[in-house]
C-alpha cells in the first residue's frame, strides 16, 4: 500500500472530511476494516479500505463494482447496510453499518445453540436471503463468518463480494462461476454444470442451521474430495438431540437434487420455522435518497484525488419536466427499438407507458387519488411521482415510479415502472387498479403498441413542428 494509503489508516485520521478513523476491526489480503465516527452525525460506522492498486492488478475491480451494485439493492434489517462509497487515487472506501456483536462464527465455535436461539437466527437469515433473492441477488458465500450480530443479538448478513446479480445468468438461466466455501457449498456448484443461485443459497442456509444446532459441520473430512463426495450424496447424520421436525426440514433443504429441494417460500410455511416468527419491522424507504450514482464507478477507475457517492458535485438534479424528442419517440416504436444498445436486462424491466392529452397537474391529481384508494404514500418531485405501498410483503414494499414526459404541449407520455417489491403484485396493481382508475384520462396504453405517439403527431403536426418522416 502506498505511503499515502498508510497515512490514511492512522488512528484518528480524518477520512475525506467525513469520518474519523478508529481501531482496526479486521483485515484481509486487499482490505482493512476500521471502526470510524461520522463527523457530522456522530454515528459509528465501519469503514472498509480497499487497496485500489492491488485489486486492479489482479482484475478484481469489477467484483468491487458488483459488490456496490448489490449492496445498494439489499436494504433490509438483517443485511449490513452500505451508507457511502468513496474513492481516491490509491484507495476505495466503503462506509458501512457498524455491527458491534461480531461474527456468528465466534458463538458457533463455543458449541451448539439452544433450539430457540438457532431458530431465531435461522428465521432472520432466511428473511434476509428471501429479500435478496427478490431483488435478483444471490449471495453465494453464506456461512457463519459472514453473519454478524448486533448489540440486540439480531443477525446481519454481510460480505457480498462473491454475490451475483440476476443479469449474471447465462442463456440457460443458470450461474456458472464456482465459488463459495467448500463445507457450505451446494452439490450442483461442485458439479460445474450450472446452478440456480436461489437453490444454492438455500443449501448453504441448511448447513448453517445444522451447525447452529449441532456445533459442528454436517459434511466434514480432512480429504477435500471425500468431503465433496459426501456433499454430492448429502451423506450426513443428525445428532440424537435434533427435534423430529428439524430432521425432516433438513432432509428437504439438504436435498442433493436442486429441482426437488425445498424453496424459500415453502420453507417459510414450515411449522417449525414459523414458531415465534415475527413479521420483520422495516423502516420506510427514503424515497429522496440518491444512492451511489454511476459516476462513483468512474471515480474508482480514475486516478482522481477524492470522490464520494454523497458529494454535492455528484447529486443528480431533476428537470422540471422531461421532453421527448423525435429520437425518443422513434426508439419507442417496436420496429426501431434501440434500447438493447443501452439496457442489459430488458426481460426483467417491469414498466408500461401510456399517452394522455391531459396536463401534468391532472395526471398527478389522478395518481394521488389512485394512491389514496390503495394506501400508497405519494412523493412528488418535478416530473417524477413515487408511489410507495404501506404493506411489507415477501419481496419488500411495492414502490412504483411514475414519470411524465412532454411530447408536445397537448400530448404527454407517462412511464410507470416498478422500482421495488414483487413483480406479480405490481402487475396485479397495474391491471386491476391503475388501468381502470385512469381510463378517463388515458388515450392509449403503450406496453403492447408504441405506434400511437406517431399517429398523434401525424394527426396534429401543427402542434409540434416535427416531421417524423424526416427522421
Cβ-based neighbour number of residue 40 at 10 Å: 9
Confidence bin at 447 (pLDDT 50/70/90): low
Mean pLDDT for the stretch of residues 316-337: 43
Measured between alpha carbons, how far is 296 from 310 in angstroms, rounded to an integer? 9
- Nearby residues of 246 by Cβ (< 8 Å), 6 or more positions away: 115, 209, 213, 238, 272
Instruction: Round to whole Å and give the CA distance between 366 and 267.
Output: 41
> With bands split at pLDDT 50, 70 and 90, how would you rate the model's confidence at 127?
very high
Which residue shows C-alpha cell 444471490?
138
- Cell numbers of 183, please? 463445507
Contact residues for 370 (Cβ-Cβ < 8 A; gap 6+): 376, 387, 433, 434, 437, 438
b/e sequence 113-132, b meaning 16+ C-beta within 10 Å? bebeebbbbbbbbbbbbbbb
Mean pLDDT calculated for residue range 252-275:
95
Q: Give dist(CA 69, CA 296) in Å, integer.
A: 11
- For 233-242, 278-287, 344-353, 455-464, which range has the lowest pLDDT when averaged over its residues? 455-464
pLDDT category, 382, cuts 50, 70, 90?
low
Give the count of beta carbons closer than 10 Å to the beta carbon of residue 152. 7
Per-residue confidence (pLDDT) for residue 287, from 0 to 100? 37
Does 101 have pLDDT greater than 80? yes
Q: Between the CA atoms of 182, 184, 187 and 188, what dihedral angle is there, to the nearest 10 degrees?
A: -100
DSSP strand E in 196-286: where? none
Which of 204, 169, 210, 170 is CA-nearest to residue 190? Answer: 204
Grid cell for residue 339: 434500447
Per-residue pLDDT reduced to its tens digit, 73-86? 788 999 999 999 98
152 CB contacts (<8 Å, ≥6 apart)?
A: none
Q: Which helix (H) or strand (E) holds 49?
A: strand 44-51
> Of 132, 128, 111, whose CA–CA distance to 120 is shortest?
128
Residue corresponding to grid cell 459441520: 217
Instruction: Assess contact for 132 and 74: CB atoms under 8 A.
Output: yes
Out of 130, 141, 196, 422, which one is annotated catalytic?
A: 141
Residue 325 dihedral angles phi and psi, to the nearest 5° = -95, -175
- Going by the DSSP 8-state scheme, the letter that residue 300 receives in this structure is H
Using alpha carbons, select from 238, 211, 218, 240 the residue that is nearest to residue 111: 211
Is 391 part of any known ligand binding site?
Answer: no
For residues 343 and 337, is the Cβ–Cβ distance under 8 A? no
- Let me know: does 214 contact 183? Beta carbons within 8 Å: no
CA–CA dist 246, 255 (Å, integer) = 14
Whether 221 is a known active-site residue: answer: no
The domains found in the chain, sorted by start residue, are 3-98+294-313 (3.30.200.20), 104-274 (1.10.510.10), 317-470 (3.30.310.80)
Measured in degrees and rounded to the nearest 5, phi and psi for residue 445 equal: -85, 145
Residue 309 has pLDDT above 70, yes or no: no
DSSP-H helix ranges across 159-294: 187-191, 197-214, 224-233, 244-253, 264-267, 271-274
Q: What is the pLDDT of residue 237?
A: 94
Residue 238 near residue 247, CB atoms below 8 Å: yes
Amino acid at each position: 500500500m502506498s505511503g499515502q494509503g498508510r497515512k490514511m489508516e492512522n488512528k484518528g485520521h480524518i477520512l475525506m472530511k467525513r469520518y474519523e478513523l478508529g481501531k482496526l476491526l479486521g483485515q484481509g489480503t486487499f482490505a482493512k476494516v476500521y471502526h470510524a465516527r461520522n463527523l457530522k452525525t456522530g454515528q459509528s460506522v465501519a469503514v472498509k479500505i480497499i487497496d485500489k492498486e492491488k485489486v486492479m492488478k489482479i482484475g478484481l475491480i469489477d467484483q468491487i463494482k458488483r459488490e456496490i451494485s448489490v449492496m445498494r439493492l439489499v436494504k433490509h434489517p438483517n443485511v449490513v447496510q452500505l451508507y457511502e462509497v468513496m474513492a481516491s487515487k490509491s484507495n476505495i472506501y466503503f462506509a458501512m453499518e457498524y455491527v458491534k456483536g461480531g461474527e456468528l462464527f465466534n458463538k458457533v465455535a463455543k458449541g451448539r445453540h439452544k433450539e430457540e436461539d438457532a431458530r431465531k437466527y435461522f428465521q432472520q437469515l432466511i428473511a434476509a436471503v428471501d429479500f435478496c433473492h427478490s431483488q435478483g441477488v444471490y449471495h453465494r458465500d453464506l456461512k457463519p463468518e459472514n453473519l454478524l450480530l448486533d448489540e440486540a443479538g439480531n443477525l446481519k448478513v454481510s460480505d457480498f463480494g462473491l454475490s451475483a446479480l440476476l443479469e449474471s445468468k447465462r442463456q440457460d438461466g443458470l450461474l456458472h462461476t464456482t465459488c463459495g466455501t467448500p463445507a457450505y457449498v451446494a452439490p450442483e456448484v461442485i458439479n460445474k454444470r450450472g446452478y440456480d443461485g436461489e437453490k444454492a443459497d438455500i443449501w448453504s442456509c441448511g448447513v448453517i442451521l445444522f451447525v447452529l444446532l449441532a456445533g459442528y459441520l454436517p459434511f466434514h473430512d480432512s480429504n477435500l474430495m471425500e468431503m465433496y463426495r459426501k456433499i454430492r450424496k448429502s451423506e450426513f447424520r443428525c445428532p440424537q438431540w435434533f427435534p423430529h421436525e428439524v430432521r425432516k426440514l433438513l432432509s428437504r433443504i439438504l436435498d442433493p437434487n436442486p429441482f426437488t429441494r425445498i424453496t424459500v417460500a415453502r420453507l417459510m410455511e414450515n411449522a417449525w420455522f414459523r414458531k415465534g416468527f415475527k413479521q420483520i419491522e422495516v423502516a420506510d424507504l427514503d424515497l429522496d435518497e440518491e444512492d451511489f450514482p454511476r459516476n462513483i464507478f468512474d471515480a474508482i477507475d480514475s486516478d482522481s484525488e477524492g470522490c464520494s457517492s454523497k458529494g454535492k458535485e455528484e447529486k443528480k438534479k431533476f428537470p422540471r419536466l422531461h421532453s421527448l424528442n423525435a429520437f425518443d419517440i422513434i426508439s419507442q416504436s417496436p420496429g426501431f427499438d434501440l434500447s438493447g444498445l443501452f439496457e442489459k436486462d430488458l426481460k426483467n424491466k417491469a414498466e408500461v407507458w401510456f399517452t394522455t392529452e391531459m396536463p401534468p397537474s391532472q395526471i398527478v391529481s389522478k395518481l394521488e387519488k389512485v394512491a389514496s384508494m390503495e394506501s400508497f404514500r405519494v412523493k412528488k418531485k418535478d416530473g417524477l411521482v413515487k408511489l410507495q405501498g404501506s404493506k411489507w410483503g415477501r419481496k419488500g414494499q411495492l414502490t412504483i415510479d411514475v414519470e411524465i414526459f412532454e411530447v408536445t404541449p397537448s400530448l404527454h407520455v407517462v412511464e410507470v415502472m416498478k422500482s421495488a417489491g414483487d413483480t406479480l403484485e405490481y402487475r396485479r396493481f397495474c391491471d386491476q387498479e391503475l388501468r381502470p382508475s385512469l381510463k378517463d384520462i388515458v388515450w392509449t396504453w403503450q406496453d403492447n403498441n408504441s405506434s400511437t405517439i406517431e399517429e398523434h403527431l401525424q394527426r396534429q403536426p401543427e402542434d409540434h413542428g416535427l416531421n417524423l418522416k424526416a427522421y
